[in-house]
Amino acid sequence: MSQSKAKLQKVVTFLLVFPLTFLLVESGLAAVTVNGKIYLSARASKSIHVVSAQFQLDGKNLGKLDTSPPFRMVWNSNTTSPGRHTITAITRDYLGNERTASYTVIVADRTPPTTPKALQVRVLSSSHIRLSWKPAGDNVGVTSYRIYRNGVAVANRPMPRFFDKGLMPGTYYNYTVTALDSSGNESRRTKSVFSVGPGGRVSHYGMPFITLGQMNRR
């Protein structure tokens, strides 16, 4: 084995450069979460004459073959689906010897779910109501819904419904709902707000009052 080939196998690395942060990446290191535009740079020992570099994402070429040093490119990770991916740098020296360095990155999910719609209330008793709504959507998947009572989160539920008990007649309760995904992104709150007011009556955006425990409108 030539001396240049031996050195090439030991020292080929590439860089992932974050905004204001420079991270030297070598094969075998722990994965890191990335977001936005990432600067990739392949490099080797000064004593090795690298003539080309090819970056790959999950085994597919990422950009064109770079034959002009410095070997670098900008990868916009926002164009890649969230989750684990493999970035690889393949370099070639003037003798045709190739060496690769691979690294696992986790593309962060920054997209919140859509806002739940059609929030509805059903009166079950004088102190018990049921909230329901249409499921929200997400680029990865909705994991739960967060229910707010009077602006304070009171529960998370995996399904698009919530039962609230122990309501006190004569007290106002306002409800809104958001959707959450596995990355913790939260949607906007629903526009529909239900109020349980004095006398235990429920109103929805100007609709006639409904007395808790009764379904006939006043």
What would the pLDDT profile of 127-140 be if each residue is shown by its tens digit? 788 899 999 999 88
- Pick the residue with more confidence: 31 or 195? 31
Same CATH topology for 3-107 and 117-211: the answer is: yes
- Pick the residue with more confidence: 99 or 17? 99
| Mean pLDDT to the nearest integer, 200-212 | 47
Q: How confident is the model at residue 44 (pLDDT cuts 50, 70, 90)?
A: low
Q: Is it the case that residue 81 has pLDDT exceeding 50?
A: yes
Question: CA distances (Å), 54 to each of 33, 84, 93, 203, in order?
Answer: 22, 20, 12, 63
Q: How far is C-alpha 201 from the chain's CA centre?
A: 40
On whether the CB atoms of residues 33 and 120 are closer than 8 A, the answer is no
Q: Partners of 86 in the beta sheet?
A: 104
Question: CA distances (Å), 137 to each of 176, 188, 215, in order?
Answer: 17, 12, 32
Structure tokens at 77: 């990770």
Question: CA distances (Å), 208 to each of 93, 172, 198, 205, in order?
Answer: 79, 16, 14, 9
| Mean pLDDT to the nearest integer, 104-111 | 86
Give pTM, 2 decimals.
Answer: 0.60
Q: Letter for the amino acid at 48?
A: I
CATH superfamily, region 117-211: Immunoglobulins (2.60.40.10)
Phi and psi of 50, rounded to 5°? -85, 130
| Mean pLDDT to the nearest integer, 102-129 | 85
Fold held by 3-107: Immunoglobulin-like (2.60.40)
Q: Domain ranges for the chain, please list them.
A: 3-107, 117-211
Cα first-last separation, the chain: 92
Bridge pairing between strands 98-107 and 83-93: antiparallel
On whether the CB atoms of residues 217 and 208 are closer than 8 A, the answer is yes
Collect all residues with Cβ–Cβ distance below 8 Å to 160 and sequence separation of at least 6: 116, 132, 133, 134, 135, 136, 145
